[in-house]
Structure 1
Amino acid sequence: MARADKQAAVAEIAESFSDSAGAVLTEYRGLTVKELQDLRRSLGANANYAVVKNTLAKLAAKEAGIEGFDELLTGPTAIAFIKGDVVEAAKGLRDFAKANPTLVIKGGVLDGALLDAKEIAKLADLESREVLLGKLAGAMLASLSQAVYLLNAPLAQAARLAGALEAKAQEDPSILAGGAGTPAAAEEAPAADEAAAEEAPRPRGCCRRGRRADRRLRPG
């Protein structure tokens, strides 16, 4: 490879490292051309799967500021430069490796930190971004529903009280005047009874007996 072509290839790989959220190194020994194509399709927009030369990848990793990458670059190497959801890309590689054991996941890098094969497997076991967002949205909706219920509960109680007052007022309009009406008439009833008693005629015998009693009590 000419020096200019080598520099261009290194620059391209280094740019892929820099522009990616993460990268997963694999050994593709034994995979057919068709299987490699199937792997690229399965990753979709989440990752760009590229076959690289180890010497160029080492130079590119150093240029991108990634250290400790050299020991992973052995054997036929292909790198999945992750552009989309890191978890989804890790899941895609894991599932493809299960169906095609000749694909070996060796490790990777995420946000500048090196990951071994076990850590990549743990990453693949995490829930995807879409699932997490769905759970977050569900939790937010549940909290919002509770908040709306708490805000509306006093209003509903006030509406029920107002309805009960309206029904009672239709039965007894005096309630709207501060409770006058029937209770006031009940309080005035004793005074009316006393006045009626004073005005009522006395029985005839009561006065005569009273005068006779007076005469007996007078001296001589």
Structure 2
Amino acid sequence: MCFSPEVDVVAGLAIGAVGIDAVRHVRRPAERLLAAVPLVFAVHQLVEAFVWWGLQGKVPSEVGRVAEWLYLVIAFGVLPVLVPLAVAALEPVTHRRRMQAFVVLGVVVATVLMYALMRGPYTAAIEGHHIDYRVDLWHGGALVVLYVVATCGSLLASEHRHVRAWGAVNLVVVLLLAWLNRSGFISLWCVWAAITSVAIAWHLRHASREPDVEAVALRG
């Protein structure tokens, strides 16, 4: 994925369908944020199609620049906050306080990244089969690490075994993607976003088979 605008469109529509399925299997309000994640990923994919088209001269340059900005807003300002919030909402009341650290970290990371984006400059360029996004970041390497801690760390700290297991897999894959192609990391992330969306839909479909952790904790 992310290898062409056509692939982005197909992936965006497919992930959107998965997101709709996830929403359909929400059983309680606490699951709504988690179900929203695939829909955000779907929008992300579709927006990147316009980034491609803008860089290829197939849409007005102004449209392409807006798409670049929106793509980075989702990556920088939305996901590092949405993911820990979604995981925290799933937790039993007795364990939500410890999850707030990941939410706060996500907010801090998002704030710093959005400041860098608003300050500029930022660029996007086609590099082979992905788009290379570049933003002038202060201590960019450290920010990437904190980004991963906020997102993957919240998954690993969950009380739900499926979420913890996915957090471990997620961490390995993210590190592998970053190692394989540092310049394409932001763009190639959508490869994993598609698989993550399926995992979220699967979790929501099968969550009813697990004991309600919150209910068990409250009864205890």
Structure 1 length normalisation: TM-score? 0.24
Higher share of residues assigned helix = 2
Structure 2 length normalisation: TM-score? 0.24
Higher share of residues assigned strand = 1
* Higher RCO (CA-CA < 8 Å; seq separation 6+): 2
